[in-house]
């Protein structure tokens, strides 16, 4: 820890402790936090007891925030690479030098190849995520991306907006607790729901709801569940369609609601008639009678909510899976009701994304947007480019060259699928910049590395649940480490230096403008004092205004999908690599692989530096059934190879009866910051050495395959 390196904002006199209200952003965020500052140092971080989102609690990651802020390996000043790419040789430079060099290089690339030759990358749900596209739009490039975008949350958001006219979230903070929760491909005990806090989930569980879990692994929630559907990874859509078949076939739906508020029920009924539980059983490996039991329990217990996770978004049929699953609450009338799915109050206001700065020609150049309209085109809420198409453009110069990549908070080599392909593409770039808290194997490939401020070091707004924004919170700067800058500040300074005609206002001006366009009625300075603002909630908003879809109803039959050339009704498609679709591959790679079940101590590839967290999970774990392990001579705790057609990696075997004999589950995000630069062991235990970023993709979203692949295993000699 280096106390001399930090300085508190405000005027606390020596010895006096100042307590600032903020919001933790070490995951997707949301927990209210109290930052205790004395003599310019962050001395304590605790949960805010007043926050309706966590009632004073913090998870293991939030608890060690001080260790993160003051970690000796934090990047503290800008660096310029002095050896060849990947040589690990760096020199310290000033911010002026860094910004001048970046500015000159980007202007030169823009002049020679066009703005679209500059791409921007970021990470999931970051405080600055909207600023990445804002800066891109000001610069004139439509190409920004995030490895979760086609794979995480946004498929649910965009599909829901087209189906319901809005994005539904679970009503965790209302008066009425849910009586039934269906957890689908989601384990919020470990992860926290996307855009809501895990503590709200725990509070709902305290009311003893009836629980249904759809998961190939026996999680803590699966152990508590009344019905656990242990499906084959990647077959969620088949299971969802079979549940719809039961709900419609046995007339378990809410008939008056369906009649008045849905569009296309008869077409859906006809569509799912063939998807019987008996049809689904051999595909999903779930017995037909269990599928019936789950469908009946969900339909007959009210209020019920669907808590869905990213597992359903890690397959190339993700959009139709989401469409099918979203019809479970819709048909059972669990929409915008207390204790069910609700639409939020949108308190946060409109973020000035500067998308209007992109000309129609520039917009049309967004890589992949012509094919994947829910990702980058007319069906997208926040249009982004398609990562595999971007990587191809870096590699081949087609459809046009991409020369520069600016990465603000992503460890590309660990979280993009198919690491070897990604590595090859990044090595083709003319210019790469990484802003991060720490040096990473990805940042080692950059030309310039910038030190980013961590969450207690910066000002921002957060709206929880994400998209719904019923609670608006201020994140506020308590300290600053070294020469770190908030990503937002870096964008403003770069825009000014490049003499762009927008994105040059100060961060606080933008925060105020955003608040002014919402319903909170406070400036950022006022909200900081208050900490958070909760918007009074109303249910059944559709009764006054209808649903914001072309038909004014929930579109079981989607007119917008039809218009864009996508299937208006859900259908099942077998994963592209599976025992059924590629038996010839299965002959060599007989096991089904899923990756990425969340670890409570780390956020994706982060936090391996933090000793107190790493002690809880020193090494990566891969789950395997004891009988399968025995077949390959693998014992609990052995290092074990997992190999696919793309490559191999090793993790430590965790033998468990809670997984099917035919399934392997590997953790994602692994690298070893304690090992030598420039690789930091990223080629050893990284699940994305196994995953696939090649076609087929989801036809509407461009999603690739992370969770239903074929693999083989073998005992490894050691680490
Ligand atoms: N502590 C912590 N919290 C996190 C994260 C983290 O890394 N660490 N990551 C954040 C991110 S980016 C996200 S998207 C969320 C994700 O959080 P969740 O949505 O909860 O997702 P996971 O834990 O990845 O997976 C949930 C479950 O899906 C199961 N699963 C695997 N394959 C399949 C399948 O094919 N079908 C079904 N139905 N289930 C399957 C896994 O066994 C796992 O138990 O968590 C966020 N929160
Ligand atoms: N195999 C497999 N791959 C997956 C998944 C899976 O389940 N399986 N999950 C996918 C999903 S759902 C997602 S969302 C993505 C997640 O992918 P990302 O969200 O991109 O996560 P990371 O690659 O871990 O990148 C986070 C980086 O940001 C840095 N960082 C943290 N805070 C800040 C900050 O304030 N500013 C800056 N500049 N940097 C910061 C961290 O140090 C870290 O290096 O991964 C995807 N990849
Ligand atoms: S759940 Fe997320 S927001 Fe809450 S304390 Fe943990 S890391 Fe922070
Ligand atoms: Mo994610």
Task: Check which CATH number belongs to the domain holding 21 and give it.
Answer: 3.30.200.210
Alpha-carbon Rg of the chain, whole angstroms? 25
For ligand 1, atom 41, the nearest C-alpha belongs to 597
C-beta of residue 231 within 8 angstroms of C-beta of residue 216: yes
In this structure, the strands spanning 648-655 and 639-643 are: antiparallel
CA–CA gap between residue 712 and residue 622 (Å, rounded)? 13
DSSP assignment string, 52-78: TTTTT---HHHHTHHHHHT-TTS--S-
Question: Does residue 385 belong to any structural domain of this protein?
Answer: yes
Q: What are phi and psi of 140, to 5 degrees?
A: 105, 5
Q: How many helices (H) and strands (E) does the chain have?
A: 27, 27
Question: Does residue 415 belong to any structural domain of this protein?
Answer: yes
Instruction: Answer yes or no: do 303 and 237 share one domain.
Output: yes
Q: Is the pLDDT of residue 556 over 90?
A: yes
| Model pLDDT, residue 10 | 39
Q: Which range has the worst mean pLDDT, 3-17, 79-93, 299-313, 618-632?
A: 3-17
For ligand 1, atom 8, the nearest C-alpha belongs to 603
Question: Does residue 472 belong to any structural domain of this protein?
Answer: no
Prior bond of 632 cis (ω within 30°) = no
Element (H, E) at 258: helix 255-261
Ligand 1 pocket test target in 25, 126, 190, 224 with most atoms within 8 Å of CB: 190
| Model pLDDT, residue 69 | 98
Instruction: Answer yes or no: do 336 and 356 share one domain.
Output: no
233 lines ligand 1 (CB under 6 A): yes
Question: Does residue 50 belong to any structural domain of this protein?
Answer: yes
CA–CA gap between residue 374 and residue 383 (Å, rounded)? 8
Question: Does residue 563 belong to any structural domain of this protein?
Answer: no
**Which atom of ligand 2 is closest in space to residue 26's alpha carbon?**
32
What CATH number is attached to the domain comprising 355? Answer: 3.40.50.740
What CATH number is attached to the domain comprising 666? Answer: 2.40.40.20
59 lines ligand 3 (CB under 6 A): yes
Instruction: Answer yes or no: do 387 and 443 share one domain.
Output: yes
Q: Is the pLDDT of residue 3 over 70?
A: no
CA–CA gap between residue 299 and residue 477 (Å, rounded)? 47
- Judged on CB neighbours under 10 Å (0-12, 13-18, 19+), 86 is middle
Q: Give the tens place of pLDDT for each residue, 690-704.
A: 999 999 999 999 999
Instruction: Answer yes or no: do 54 and 110 share one domain.
Output: no
**Terminal C-alpha separation, the chain:** 31
Q: Give the tens place of pLDDT for each residue, 564-577.
A: 999 999 999 999 99
596 lines ligand 2 (CB under 6 A): yes
Instruction: Answer yes or no: do 213 and 307 share one domain.
Output: yes
Tokens of 319: 């959009």
Question: Does residue 474 belong to any structural domain of this protein?
Answer: no
Angstrom distances, CA of residue 330 to CA of 168, 323, 326, 327:
11, 11, 7, 5
Instruction: Answer yes or no: do 238 and 276 share one domain.
Output: yes
Q: Is the pLDDT of residue 1 over 70?
A: no
Listed residues 299, 318, 342: the one ending a domain? 342
Query: 10 Å Cβ neighbour count for 681?
Result: 17
411 lines ligand 2 (CB under 6 A): yes
For ligand 3, atom 4, the nearest C-alpha belongs to 31
For ligand 2, atom 25, the nearest C-alpha belongs to 410
| Model pLDDT, residue 279 | 98
Q: Give the tens place of pLDDT for each residue, 455-466.
A: 999 999 999 988
Instruction: Answer yes or no: do 330 and 351 share one domain.
Output: no
| Model pLDDT, residue 193 | 60
**Which atom of ligand 3 is closest in space to residue 26's alpha carbon?**
7
**Which atom of ligand 3 is closest in space to residue 60's alpha carbon?**
6
Listed residues 440, 472, 505: the one ending a domain? 505
What is the domain count for the chain?
4
Question: Does residue 228 belong to any structural domain of this protein?
Answer: yes
Q: What are phi and psi of 716, to 5 degrees?
A: -100, 155
C-beta of residue 114 within 8 angstroms of C-beta of residue 400: yes
Instruction: Answer yes or no: do 394 and 447 share one domain.
Output: yes
Instruction: Answer yes or no: do 175 and 137 share one domain.
Output: no
Tokens of 155: 């498929």
Instruction: Answer yes or no: do 491 and 387 share one domain.
Output: yes
Q: What percent of the chain has pLDDT over 70?
A: 98
388 lines ligand 1 (CB under 6 A): no
435 lines ligand 2 (CB under 6 A): yes
274: domain range?
168-342
Instruction: Answer yes or no: do 230 and 310 share one domain.
Output: yes
In this structure, the strands spanning 79-81 and 90-92 are: antiparallel
Q: What angle do CA 23, 127, 374 make, to 5 degrees?
A: 130
188 lines ligand 3 (CB under 6 A): no
Q: Which range has the worst mean pLDDT, 117-126, 246-255, 322-331, 465-474?
A: 465-474
User: Would you give the DSSP letter of residue 657?
Assistant: T
Question: Does residue 566 belong to any structural domain of this protein?
Answer: no
CA–CA gap between residue 110 and residue 473 (Å, rounded)? 37
What CATH number is attached to the domain comprising 262? Answer: 3.40.228.10
Listed residues 314, 342, 370: the one ending a domain? 342
C-beta of residue 162 within 8 angstroms of C-beta of residue 555: yes
Tell me the CA–centroid distance for residue 414 and ligand 2, in Å: 8
- The confidence band for 194, taking pLDDT boundaries of 50, 70 and 90, is low
Q: Give the tens place of pLDDT for each residue, 529-539.
A: 999 999 988 99
Instruction: Answer yes or no: do 185 and 241 share one domain.
Output: yes
Q: pTM, whole model, 2 decimals?
A: 0.97
User: Would you give the DSSP letter of residue 684?
Assistant: T
């Amino acid at each position: 820890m280096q106390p001399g390196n930090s300085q508190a904002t405000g005027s606390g006199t020596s010895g006096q402790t100042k307590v600032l209200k903020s919001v933790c952003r070490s995951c997707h965020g949301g927990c209210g936090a109290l930052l205790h500052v004395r003599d310019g140092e962050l001395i304590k971080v605790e949960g805010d007891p007043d926050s309706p989102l966590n009632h004073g609690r913090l998870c293991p990651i939030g608890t060690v925030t001080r260790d993160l802020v003051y970690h000796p390996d934090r990047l503290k000043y800008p660096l310029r690479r002095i050896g060849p790419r990947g040589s690990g040789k760096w020199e310290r430079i000033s911010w002026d030098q860094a910004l001048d060099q970046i500015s000159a290089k980007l202007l030169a690339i823009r002049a020679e190849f066009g703005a679209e030759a500059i791409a921007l990358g970021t990470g999931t749900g970051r405080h600055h995520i909207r600023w990445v596209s804002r800066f891109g739009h000001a610069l004139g490039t439509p190409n920004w991306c995030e490895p979760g975008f086609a794979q995480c949350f946004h498929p649910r958001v965009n599909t829901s907006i087209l189906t319901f006219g809005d994005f539904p979230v679970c009503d965790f903070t209302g008066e009425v607790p849910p009586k039934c929760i269906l957890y689908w491909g989601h384990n919020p005990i470990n992860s926290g729901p996307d855009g809501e806090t895990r503590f709200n989930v725990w509070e709902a569980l305290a009311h003893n709801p009836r629980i249904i879990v759809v998961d190939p692994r026996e999680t803590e929630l699966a152990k508590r569940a009344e019905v656990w559907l242990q499906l084959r990874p990647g077959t969620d859509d088949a299971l969802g369609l079979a549940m719809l078949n039961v709900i419609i076939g046995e007339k378990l739906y809410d008939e008056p609601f369906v009649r008045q508020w849905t569009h296309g029920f008869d077409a859906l009924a006809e569509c799912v008639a063939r998807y019987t539980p008996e049809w689904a059983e051999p595909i999903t490996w779930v017995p037909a009678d269990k599928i019936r039991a789950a469908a009946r329990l969900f339909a007959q217990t009210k209020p019920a909510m669907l808590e869905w996770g990213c597992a359903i978004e890690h397959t190339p049929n993700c959009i139709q899976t989401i469409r099918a699953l979203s019809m479970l609450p819709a048909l059972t009338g669990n929409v915008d009701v207390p204790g069910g799915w609700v639409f939020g109050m949108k308190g946060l206001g409109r973020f000035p994304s500067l998308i209007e700065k992109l000309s129609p020609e520039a917009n049309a150049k967004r890589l992949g947007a012509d094919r994947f309209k829910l990702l980058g085109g007319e069906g997208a809420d926040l249009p982004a480019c398609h990562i595999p198409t971007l990587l191809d453009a870096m590699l081949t110069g087609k459809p046009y060259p991409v020369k520069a990549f600016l990465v603000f908070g992503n460890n590309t080599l660990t979280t993009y699928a198919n690491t070897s392909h990604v590595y090859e593409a990044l090595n083709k770039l003319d210019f790469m910049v990484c802003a991060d808290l720490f040096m990473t194997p990805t940042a080692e490939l950059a030309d310039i590395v910038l030190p980013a401020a961590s969450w207690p070091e910066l000002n921002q707004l957060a709206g929880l649940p994400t998209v719904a924004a019923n609670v608006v919170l201020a994140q506020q700067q308590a300290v600053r480490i070294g020469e770190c800058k908030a990503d937002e500040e870096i964008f403003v300074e770069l825009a000014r230096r490049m003499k762009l005609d927008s994105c040059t206002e100060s961060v606080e001006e933008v925060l105020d403008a955003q608040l002014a366009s919402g319903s909170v009625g406070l400036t950022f300075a006022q909200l900081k004092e208050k900490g958070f603002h909760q918007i009074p909630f109303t249910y059944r908003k559709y009764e006054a205004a209808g649903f914001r879809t072309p038909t004014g109803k929930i579109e079981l039959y989607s007119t917008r999908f039809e218009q864009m050339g996508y299937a208006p009704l859900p259908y099942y498609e077998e994963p592209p690599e599976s025992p059924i679709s590629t038996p010839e591959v299965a002959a060599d790679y007989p096991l089904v692989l899923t990756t990425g079940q969340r670890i409570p101590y780390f956020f994706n590839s982060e936090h391996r530096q933090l000793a107190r967290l790493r002690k809880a999970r020193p090494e990566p774990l891969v789950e395997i059934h004891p009988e399968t392990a025995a077949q390959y001579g693998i014992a609990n705790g052995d290092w074990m190879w997992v190999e696919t057609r793309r490559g191999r990696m090793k993790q430590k075997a965790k033998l468990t009866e809670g997984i099917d004999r035919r399934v392997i589950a590997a953790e994602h995000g692994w690298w070893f910051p304690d090992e030598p630069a420039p690789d930091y062991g990223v080629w050893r235990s990284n699940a994305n050495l196994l995953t696939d970023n090649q076609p087929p993709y989801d036809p509407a979203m461009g999603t690739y395959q992370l969770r239903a692949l074929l693999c083989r295993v073998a005992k490894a000699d050691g680490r």
